[in-house]
């Protein structure tokens, strides 16, 4: 399954394109007779799955923490994907992992041999899971050999690189998706729908934090050239992206403060903390903090004039909790919807696979990563100058077609 078939540029972001997204393999759906009363929520069965020979094949590039802890295990929970190749600088490690996932030895390559993915059977998508500054090179090289690309966040370390990556994928007529896993996650989607349906009234304020305590001072995350910054592009980006996609608004100005302690060997090159206030055209503000020197903490609250919705924890791989509070007859009513947790990486990869199978633009294309990067650059500019920095609205939509409705 190669990168065939062009989408007409203007049609990329339309609702019609979204409507094409029926579930792959849905002809094999099995419906069992209900066993509960009609008043009970319906039982759902997983799938329909695609059989192995019809699944979209992924080459995973970079075998570090995220690949080993989350991405590779998620293939076992995916409906449409399989892992068919590994790209690593450490053949010994790749062999051990390949043995666990049943990947042929002939499909293990190093970075210099990356272009051999072009003719490797069963590789449709390349998933880039490398340090941030390497994303550009491997996306561009991947596009040139005609493969669809799923690229980890942050998309790159400069807006210029993001633009080059978008251009390379357009030129090669391959899909480019940025792995914003939270946009595919059911609690985030429920919260976004509540905002869109006016369930919070008018959202005036967003408050969020995504912070952790990093160790080893020699890791690439603390190297400016490889990471592009400190906590902001790594973990603060979740708060920034959430403020954007949950409200469907784009910041027009940011004001930021960064902290880089002089006496801590971890922060010789990058900030340990970043505080941001973003102002949106409607007057809404988002205030968020990210840190590399505090105990893990992550939450998000959207405050509307009649209700608030909160995810706490909010940005982890597992265990997010969604909570609403609203005024009813002068009293606070609290509500915690019962939403089954899903593997965010399986959902995200299945979305990419669906886009390939149905030739649809991803919901989080390169333009979404570019806009975050433009804002991150404005955030650093503001921190350096001590002044608010204006950011122009994007030229067009940054997100692709709306996702199909979630399963009941
Ligand atoms: P990691 O350090 O654990 O793994 C990076 C891999 O890249 C390693 O296998 C390393 O050997 C390889 N590598 C190749 N060239 C390298 C070089 N010059 N320097 C350092 N490593 C090199 O990092 P990770 O946590 O797996 O992060 C990888 C990417 O995934 C990053 O872009 C990160 O932002 C992103 N990420 C996303 C999430 C998420 O929730 N979506 C979570 C963690 C990381």
User: Can you spell out the DSSP letters for 231-276?
Assistant: HIIIIIHHHHHHHHHHHT---SEEEEEEE--TT-GGGSSS-SEEEE
Q: In the predicted model, what is the mean pLDDT of residues 21-39?
A: 87
Q: Is the CB of 111 under 6 A from ligand 1?
A: no
Q: Which of 16-20, 284-288, 319-323, 367-371 has the lowest mean pLDDT?
A: 16-20
**Gap between the Cα atoms of 116 and 289, Å rounded:** 42
Per-residue exposure over 2-40, b if at least 16 CB sit within 10 Å of its own CB, e if not? ebeeeeeeeebbbeebbeebebbbeeeeeeeeeeeeeee
Q: Is the CB of 62 under 6 A from ligand 1?
A: yes
Q: What is the pTM of this model?
A: 0.94
Atom of ligand 1 nearest to the CA of 88: 9
**Gap between the Cα atoms of 318 and 300, Å rounded:** 15
Instruction: Supply the residues annotated as catalytic.
Output: 153, 238
**Gap between the Cα atoms of 236 and 46, Å rounded:** 33
Say how many C-beta atoms besides its own lie within 10 A of residue 261's C-beta: 13
Summarised one tens digit per residue, pLDDT across range 39-67 is 998 887 888 899 999 999 999 999 999 99
CA of 155 to the centre of ligand 1 (A): 12
Residue with CA at minimum distance from ligand 1 atom 4: 64
Q: Decide which of 3.40.50.300, 3.40.50.620, 3.30.360.10, 3.20.20.70 is the CATH code for 183-346+371-390.
A: 3.30.360.10
Range(s) within the chain of domains with CATH label 3.30.360.10: 183-346+371-390
- Structure token pair of residue 71: 């991405």
Are 75 and 52 in contact, with CB atoms under 8 Å apart? no
Confidence of residue 406 (pLDDT cuts 50, 70, 90): confident
Mean pLDDT score across all residues of the chain: 94
Q: Is the CB of 65 under 6 A from ligand 1?
A: yes
Paired strand residues for 258: 274
Q: Decide which of 3.40.50.920, 1.10.3720.10, 3.30.465.10, 3.40.50.720 is the CATH code for 18-182+348-361.
A: 3.40.50.720
**Gap between the Cα atoms of 76 and 55, Å rounded:** 12
Range(s) within the chain of domains with CATH label 3.40.50.720: 18-182+348-361
Summarised one tens digit per residue, pLDDT across range 340-360 is 999 999 999 999 999 999 999
As a whole number of angstroms, the longest Cα–Cα distance in the chain is: 67
């Amino acid at each position: 399954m190669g990168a065939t078939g062009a989408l007409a540029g203007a049609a990329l972001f339309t609702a019609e394109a979204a409507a094409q997204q029926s579930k792959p393999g849905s002809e094999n759906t099995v419906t069992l007779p209900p066993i509960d009363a009609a008043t009970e929520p319906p039982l759902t069965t997983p799938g329909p799955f695609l059989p192995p020979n019809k699944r979209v094949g992924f080459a995973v590039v970079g075998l570090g923490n995220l690949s080993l802890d989350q991405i590779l295990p998620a293939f076992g929970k995916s409906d449409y994907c399989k892992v068919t190749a590994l790209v690593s600088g450490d053949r010994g490690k790749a062999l051990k992992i390949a043995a666990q996932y049943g990947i042929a030895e002939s499909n293990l390559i190093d970075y210099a041999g990356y272009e051999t993915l072009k003719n490797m059977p069963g590789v449709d998508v390349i998933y880039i899971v490398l340090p941030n500054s390497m994303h550009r090179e491997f996306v561009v090289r991947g596009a040139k050999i005609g493969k669809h690309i799923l690229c980890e966040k942050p998309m790159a370390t400069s807006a210029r690189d993001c633009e080059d990556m978008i251009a390379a994928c357009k030129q090669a007529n391959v899909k480019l998706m940025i792995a914003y896993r939270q946009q595919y996650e059911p609690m985030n989607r429920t919260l976004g729908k509540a905002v869109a349906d006016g369930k919070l009234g008018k959202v005036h304020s967003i408050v969020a934090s995504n912070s952790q305590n990093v160790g080893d001072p020699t890791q690439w995350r603390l190297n400016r050239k490889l990471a592009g910054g400190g906590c902001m592009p790594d973990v603060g980006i979740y708060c920034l992206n959430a403020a954007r996609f949950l409200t469907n608004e784009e910041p027009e100005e940011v004001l930021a403060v960064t902290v880089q302690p002089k006496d801590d060997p971890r922060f010789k090159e990058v900030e340990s903390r970043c505080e941001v206030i973003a102002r949106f055209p409607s007057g809404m503000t988002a205030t968020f903090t990210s840190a590399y020197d505090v105990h893990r903490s992550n939450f998000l609250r959207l405050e509307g004039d009649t209700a608030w919705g909160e995810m706490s924890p909010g940005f982890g791989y597992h265990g997010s909790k969604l909570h609403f509070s609203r005024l009813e007859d002068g009293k606070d009513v609290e509500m915690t919807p019962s939403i089954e947790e899903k593997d965010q990486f399986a959902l995200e990869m299945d979305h990419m696979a669906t886009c390939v199978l149905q030739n649809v633009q991803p919901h989080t294309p390169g333009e979404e990563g570019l806009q975050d990067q433009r804002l991150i650059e404005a955030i650093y500019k503001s921190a350096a100058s001590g002044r608010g920095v204006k950011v122009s609205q994007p030229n067009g939509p940054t997100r692709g077609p709306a996702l199909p409705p979630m399963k009941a």
